A and B are shown apart, each in its own frame.
Chain A
Amino acid sequence: MLQEEVVGQVLAEALGRGGDLAEIFAEERSSTGLRLDDRRVEDVASGRETGAGIRVISGDRSSYAYTNLLTADALVEAARAARSGLDGPAGVVASDLRRTQGPSHPVRIPPQEVGAADKASVLVEADDAARAEGGSVRQVSASYSDLRQKVLIASSDGRIAHDDRTRVRFAVQVVALRNGEIATGFEAPGHSGGFELLAPGDPARLGASAARKALTMLDARPSPAGEFPVVLAPGSGGVLIHEACGHGLEADTLVKEASVYANRRDERFGSESVTIVDDGSDVGAWGSFGVDDEGTPAQRTVLFDRGVLVGHMSDLQSARKIGYPPTGNGRRQSYAHLPIVRMTNTYLLPGQDDPVAIFESVPRGVYAATFAGGEVNPATGNFVFGMSEAYMIEDGAVTYPIKGANLIGNGPRVLEVIDAVGSDFGRKEGVCGKDGQAAPVTNGMPTVLLGRVTVGGTEA
C-alpha cells in the first residue's frame, strides 16, 4: 500500500514542528452490498476507497488531517495540515520500525472470489423461506454485505503494523400482518471471515426464523408496566452488558470522570457469578481484528472478575492518561476518523445455573428474547432497552408473547440484581455508534435472571 520510506518521510514531516507522537493510518477498502426488498434484488453496490489519516499528538491535544490520495506529495501535505498550530523544534522519528502483530481470523471463502449472482441468490433463498412460513408474512427484506479493509499503521515511536480484515454480514427482516396487527422479526449474523458465514441452508433457516418471530409477535398482548423479574435470553441480552457496563468502562469517559464507574476499581458490583470480558482476539468474531486502529494487538481484557471491577478498555491517549498499558480498544470507522475507545466483543461469561431452572424460579416475570437496541448515559449509568421479542413468564413457564416492552434502569444496579447466570452462551452481532462513528461489535451472554427491574409497557 505504502513504501516504508514514504512512511518515514511523512512521519518526519508530521513531527517537523514538534509534538510527542506522529502516526499514519492508511487503508484500502473494497466492499459489496446487495439488498432484496419487496421480492426485488436492488441496491447492488460496490465501493473502492483509499485514504490515509495523519495524527500528531502533543500533550493532551491531537491534530488530525486526512487525504484520499496515497501519493507521497498528498501525504506530506496532510502531515503539514496535521502539525499546524505547533511551532516547536522537530521531534525525532525512530529509525527502526518494530512490527506488531495480532491474532489472525481465517477467511476460508474470500468474498471477492464469490460472484454477485451467488450473493444475490442467498437473498432470494431467505426471501422464499420466510414467505413459505405463512400468508401473514407481508414483506421481507434481506441484505448481504462484505468488506475487505487492508490497513497500515505506523508511528514515530517505531511501531508499524499491517492488518487485513474481512467481514461478512447477512440480515433478514420480516414484516407480518394479520387483522390490522403488524409485527416484525429480524436475524442478522456476521463474522470476521469470508462467505463461509452462509453455509448451504443457512439463508433459508435465517429467513424462516425471522418470519416465525414476526408471526409469533402478531399474537402479542400489550406488555405490563412495573417492576418484574426478567430473564434475558443468551446472546441478545448481551446488549445490556454492552450498554450498561461497557460504555462506562471506556477509559476516555473514565479519564473525564464522565462515567459512573470512575474511581471505583476493586469495588464489588455483582455476585461471584458475574465475570465480564472484552475480547477483540476472539477468533472469527464480528468485532475482532488483528491489531486495533492504532496498531495495538487485539487482546482479552477482564472488566469484572467475579463481581469486582478490575479493568477498563483504552486506546493510546486514554491509556497514557489513566496510567495503564493500552488494551487494544482504539478503533476508527475509517481513515477519515480519529481513533476513539471502542468495545470489540463484550461477553458476560457463562456461570453454573441450569437455564431451565432459571425459568422455573420465576413466578411472574418477563422473558426478554430479543432486544431491538438500547441507549445508555455513561455519566449516570441510566439505560433503556426496547424488546422486539418478549414473553410473559407465569408459574415458571413461558406463556404468551408481549409487545411494546422495554427495560429501564441503571448500569451498576443491574449488575447487582443479576441473581442467576446460566451455563449456556450465545452471541449477537451489532453495530455500535459513538461520536458519529460506527464500529462492528459482538455482545455475548448466557441465560441470565435479573431479580427485579422496571419494565415499561402500555398496560399500566
Chain B
Amino acid sequence: LTDLLDLATAIVERATSGEDIEAYVTHERTFQVKAYSSEVESLASAEPRGAGARLIRDHRAGFAYTTDLTDSGLNAVVDRARDNSRHATSDEATSVAPAWSEEPPEISGLVDRSQSDVPADDKVAFVLELERATRAQDPRIRAVEEAVYSDSEAEVAIATSSGVAGSYRRTDAWCYALAIATEGDDTQIGFEFDLARGLAALDADDVARRSAHRALEILGASKIPSGRMSVVFEPYVSAQFLGVLGSALTGEAVQKGRSLFAGKVGTRVAGDGVHLVDDGRLEGAPGSAPWDGEGVPTSRTGVISNGVLDSFLYDTTSARREGRDSTGNASRASFKGVPHPSPTNLALAGTGESPDQIYEQAGKALLVQDFHGVHSGANAVSGDFSVGATGRLLQNGELGAAVKEVTIAAPMLEILKGIQAVGSDLRWLPFGGSFGGATTLIAEMTVAGL
C-alpha cells in the first residue's frame, strides 16, 4: 500500500491556484469477536481505508470522500469537492489549518507495540474467558447477552495546501460484557467495559465482576416517592452528563445559538472549586492525539475555572469567526465526515474526596448508577435535563434499596451550580468522545417516581 501521507499529499497537489485544500486519509485494521454461551458467536476482520478532501475556493468549502484510492479515484474526489464548493455560502471564516511553526510533539502511549503481534486465537480465548467469568460470578447471572472483544490499529494522515503534513498511528482495544441477572420475576442487565491500547492491558476478570455486580445489585429495585433530593452520580453517569454538556461548550454551538452557555463567558456557571478542563494531549486518555481533525496541534483548555466559564472549544473556522486561534478541537468521525469542534478529553477536576466520603457527605440521597434516555431527555440548547435513572438509595454513607423507573430532572445550569464534590475516582468513558467521570455530588434534583 502506498504511504498514507503520500496519498494525502497527492490529493493536495490536485488543487489549482486560488484553491485551498485539506486531505484526510485513514487506513485501519479492525478485529472483533463476540462470545455467547461458551461459544464464539461471530468473528469479523476488516481493513477499511479511504480519503476525504475539503476544497475551499472563494471562501466556499466543498467536501467529498472516496474509498477509491487510485489516481482516477483521487482525481474524482477533488473534482467533486470542487463542484460541491460552488454551492456553499461564501464565508470569510472558512479556512484550512495554518502551517505548523514546529512539528507537534508526539503523544506517548498511543501505540501498544505488542498489539500487532497478538494472535487472533488469544483474542478469542480472552472473550471466551470474559463470557465464562461473567456467568460464573453468581448463580443468578442467567446468561451473558453479549461478551465482546474488539480492536483497531489505525494510521491517520493529513496534508493541507497551507503546508500541514503529518501522520500518526494509534492502537485501541476494548471489551465489554452484558450480564443478565434474574431472580423471581425480575430481570436486570449490567453493562461494563474496559478500554486500553492493547489486549495485554485489558482486565477480563474485572469487567466480569463489575458487569455482574451492576445487574445483581438492582434486582428487586422499585420506584421511590417523588420529591426533591440530593443526587450522587457514579463515574459512569457523570461522564454521560459531561457528554451532554460538551456539545454545548464549543464555539460553534455558541455562535449558532445552540448552547445554554451563550453569553456566559466570564460569569459564574458552577460552584467555587469546580474546574472543567479539556486536554487533547493527556497521556493515557482515550481522546488524545498530536493534532486534531484539521491538523491543528491539540492543547489543554480551561473551560470552567473555579466556577467561572473561561473559554469554549474551537476549530479553525469557529475560532476565525471570533478572531482567535483554534484550540485544536476539530473532530471528525472518519474520512467520510467534515470536521466540527468537539471536546477531546473533558473532565471535572477532583475536589479530593473518595467515593465513600462523598456517600457520607450526601446524607439521604439517590445514587445514580445509570441514566436512560439521555439523548432524548437532555437538551444542550435549552438546558433542560430530565432522564430515567436506576441506582440505590444512600443514607448516611450506607447503600440502601435499589431504585428503578424514576426520572431525575433539573436545568443543567442548576446541576452544575449544585456540584458539591467531585471524587478522586476519575475514569475515562468513550461516549461519543472521551469524558472523565468521577463520583459527583449534586445538591438537589427533582426525582419523579410514585
List A residues at the B interface (Cβ < 8 Å): 34, 37-51, 59-68, 81, 84-85, 116-117, 119-120, 138-139, 141, 175, 177, 181-184, 223, 225-227, 253, 256-258, 260, 336, 338, 371-375, 377, 379-380, 382-386, 388, 403-406, 408-410, 454-460
Q: Is the CB of B80 within 8 A of A182?
A: no
A177 to B259, CA, bound (A): 11
Q: Which residues of B lie under 8 Å from residue A256 when comparing CB positions?
A: 36, 143, 145
For the complex formed, measure the closest distance between the CB of A37 and the CB atoms of chain B, giving whole angstroms.
6
Whether the pair B88, A42 counts as a contact (CB closer than 8 A) is yes
B80 pairs with A46, CB closer than 8 A? yes
> Digit string of B39-71 for contact with A (CB within 8 Å is 1, else 0)?
111111111111000000000011111111000
Query: B406 interface residue, CB < 8 Å from A?
Result: yes
Tell me the bound Cα distance from A41 to B87 in angstroms: 7
Indicate whether A48 sits within 8 Å of B376 (C-beta atoms), given known contacts A65-B46, A379-B189, A456-B448: no
Cβ contact within 8 Å between A382 and B376: no
User: Given contacts A116-B87, A256-B143, is CB(A44)–CB(B260) below 8 Å?
Assistant: no
Q: A40-B89, A384-B372, A404-B384 are in contact. Are A64 and B338 (CB under 8 A)?
A: no
Residue of A nearest to B378 (CB): A386
A42 and B373 contact, CB distance less than 8 A: no
Query: Which B residues are CB-close (under 8 A) to A120?
Result: 87
Q: B266 at the A/B interface (Cβ < 8 Å)?
A: no
Among B13-21, B250-258, B270-278, B353-361, the one that faces the other chain is B250-258
Q: Is the CB of A380 within 8 A of B188?
A: yes
**Within 8 Å of chain A (Cβ to Cβ): is B242?**
no
Residues of A near B61 (CB, < 8 A) are 42-44
Q: How distant is A170 from chain B, measured CB to nearest CB, in Å?
A: 16
Would you call B338 and A45 a contact (CB within 8 A)? yes
What is the bound-complex CA distance between A257 and B37, given in angstroms? 12
| 0/1 string, B400-416, CB within 8 A of A gives 1 | 00001111111100000
- The answer to whether A66 and B46 have CB atoms under 8 Å apart is yes
B120 within 8 A of A: yes
Measured between beta carbons, the chain B residues less than 8 angstroms from A66 are 46, 48
A164 and B139 alpha carbons, distance in the complex (Å): 50
Q: How far is the CB of A381 from chain B (nearest CB, A)?
A: 9
Question: When A and B form their complex, which 9 residue pairs have the shortest distance between CB atoms, in order from nearest?
Answer: A456-B407, A384-B388, A225-B448, A384-B373, A386-B376, A373-B376, A139-B257, A386-B377, A372-B376
Question: B210-240 toward A: CB 8 Å interface, digit per residue (1/0)?
Answer: 0000000000000100111000000000000
The main secondary structure of chain A at its interface with chain B is strand
Chain A contacts of B84 at CB under 8 A? 44-46, 116
Bound-state CA distance A223–B386 (Å) is 10
Q: Which B residues touch A372, using CB under 8 A?
A: 375-377, 379
A386 to chain B, nearest CB (A): 3
A49-B336, A64-B45, A184-B382 provided; 12 other pairs, C-beta below 8 A? A39-B89, A44-B61, A182-B383, A183-B382, A260-B187, A375-B376, A383-B388, A404-B386, A408-B388, A456-B406, A457-B446, A458-B386
- Smallest CB-CB separation from B70: which chain A residue? A69
- List, in ascending order, chain A residues with CB within 8 A of B99's CB: none
Would you give 9 A-B contacts (Cβ < 8 Å), ordered by A?
Answer: A44-B61, A44-B85, A63-B43, A257-B143, A408-B388, A410-B405, A456-B386, A457-B409, A460-B226
| B255 contacts across to A, CB distance below 8 A | 38
- Decide yes or no whether B282 CB sits under 8 A from chain A: no
Question: Residue B67 contacts which of A48, A375, A405 (CB distance < 8 angstroms)?
Answer: A48
The number of chain B residues with a CB under 8 A from chain A is: 82
Q: Which residues from B are CB-within-8-Å of A49?
A: 50, 65-67, 336
A379 to B83, CA, bound (A): 49
Task: Give the distance in Å from the alpha carbon of A175 to the alpha carbon of B62 in the complex.
Answer: 26
Query: Is there a chain A Cβ closer than 8 Å to B199's Cβ?
Result: no
- Is B180 in the interface zone, CB < 8 Å from A? yes
Chain A residues with CB below 8 A from B41, complex form: 60-62
Least CB distance, A270 to chain B, in whole angstroms: 19
Among B80, B120, B382, residue most surrounded by chain A Cβ atoms (within 10 Å): B382
Query: Is B227 in contact with A460, judged by CB distance below 8 angstroms?
Result: yes
B151 shortest CB reach to chain A, Å:
15
A175 touching B386, Cβ below 8 Å: no
Given the known interface contacts A64-B44, A65-B45, the answer about A406 and B388 at a Cβ–Cβ threshold of 8 Å is yes
Quick one: which of A45, A65, A256 has the most chain B CB within 10 A? A45
Interchain CA distance A457-B88 in the complex, whole Å: 42
The CA-CA distance from A460 to B375 in the complex, in Å, is 23
When the two chains form the complex, which single residue of A44, A382, A455 contacts B448, counting CB atoms closer than 8 Å?
A455
Are A117 and B45 closer than 8 Å at their CB atoms?
no
Q: Is the C-beta of B208 less than 8 angstroms from some C-beta in chain A?
A: no
Closest to B407 in A: A456
User: Which of B66, B223, B258, B373 has the most chain A CB within a 10 Å cutoff?
Assistant: B373
With both beta carbons as reference points, the residue of chain B lying nearest to A60 in the complex is identified as B39
Q: Are B405 and A409 neighbours in the complex by a CB distance under 8 Å?
A: yes
| Residue B381 is within 8 A (CB to CB) of chain A in the complex | yes
User: With A34-B87, A405-B386 known to touch, is A81 a contact of B180 (CB < 8 Å)?
Assistant: no
CA distance A459 to B446 in the complex (A): 7
Instruction: Provide the residues of chain B in CB contact with A386, threshold 8 Å.
Output: 373, 376-378, 386-387
Within the complex, what minimum Cβ distance (angstroms) separates A64 from chain B?
4
Q: How far is the CA of A227 from the CA of B448 in the complex (A)?
A: 9
Q: Nearest Cβ in chain A — how far from B237, in angstroms?
A: 14
Q: In whole angstroms, how far apart are the Cα atoms of A408 and B67 in the complex?
A: 43
Q: From known contacts A50-B67, A175-B258, A256-B145, infer whether A457 and B46 are also in contact, taking CB-CB under 8 Å.
A: no
B107 within 8 A of A: no
Which A residues are CB-close (under 8 A) to B43? 61-64, 85
User: Which chain B residues border A63 with CB–CB below 8 Å?
Assistant: 42-44
How far is B411's CA from A117's CA once the two chains are assembled, in angstroms?
A: 41
B76 within 8 A of A: yes
Asked if B320 is at the interface (CB within 8 A of a chain A CB), the reply is no
- Contact of B89 with A41 in the complex, beta carbons under 8 Å: yes
Contact B256 A37 (CB under 8 A): yes
Query: In the assembly, what is the distance between CA of A39 and CA of B90, in Å?
Result: 11
CB-CB under 8 A from A260, the residues of chain B are 187
- Contact A408/B406 with A373-B375, A460-B446 known, Cβ cut-off 8 Å: yes
